[in-house]
């Protein structure tokens, strides 16, 4: 699995999703509804991981191959992907939060 390529593609698609959400802000006046958009962004993150894995032929439930098979930590592909991409998600979610809260 090319985790760096996966991460780059996920970041590109998340940027697009973030922009769609920002465009919706002009039609939302309720603060709670604005913050609900963060939850929707989180769901998009999870959906995109599943979609990209499917497109790449990656079984998210399969164990991630390690160099040391006797390693006691048998992590799944999904756990590895989440770990390697969470920084991208956090950065974009923080940027989105700033946009959501600055337009009050």
The pLDDT tens digits for 16-59 are 999 999 998 888 888 889 889 999 999 999 999 999 999 999 99
Tell me what the mean pLDDT of segment 81-104 comes to.
89
Q: Is the pLDDT of residue 62 over 70?
A: yes
How long, in residues, is the chain?
104
- What's residue 58's pLDDT? 92
**What is the pLDDT, as a whole number, of residue 100?**
86
Mean pLDDT of the chain: 88
Q: Are 63 and 81 in contact (CB under 8 A)?
A: no
Within the chain, where are the H helices?
Answer: 3-24, 31-56, 77-102
Give yes or no for a contact between 87 and 10, defined as CB atoms under 8 angstroms apart. Answer: no
Statement: residue 104 has pLDDT above 60: no
91 band by pLDDT with thresholds 50, 70 and 90: very high
DSSP assigned state of 56: H
CB atoms within 10 A of CB 55: 10
How far is residue 2's CA from residue 77's CA, in Å, rounded to a whole number?
A: 11
Sole residue written with tokens 């399969």: 62
Task: Give the chain's radius of gyration (CA, Å).
Answer: 16
Of 99 and 69, the structure prediction assigns the larger pLDDT to: 99
């Amino acid at each position: 699995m090319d985790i760096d390529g996966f991460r780059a593609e996920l970041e590109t698609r998340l940027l697009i999703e973030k922009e769609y959400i920002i465009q919706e802000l002009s039609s939302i006046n309720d603060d709670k509804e604005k913050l609900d958009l963060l939850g929707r962004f989180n769901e998009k993150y999870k959906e995109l991981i599943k979609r990209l894995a499917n497109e790449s032929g990656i079984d998210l439930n399969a164990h991630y191959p390690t160099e040391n098979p006797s390693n006691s930590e048998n992590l799944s592909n999904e756990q590895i992907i989440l770990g390697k991409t969470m920084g991208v998600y956090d950065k974009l979610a923080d940027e989105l939060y700033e946009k959501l809260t600055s337009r009050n």
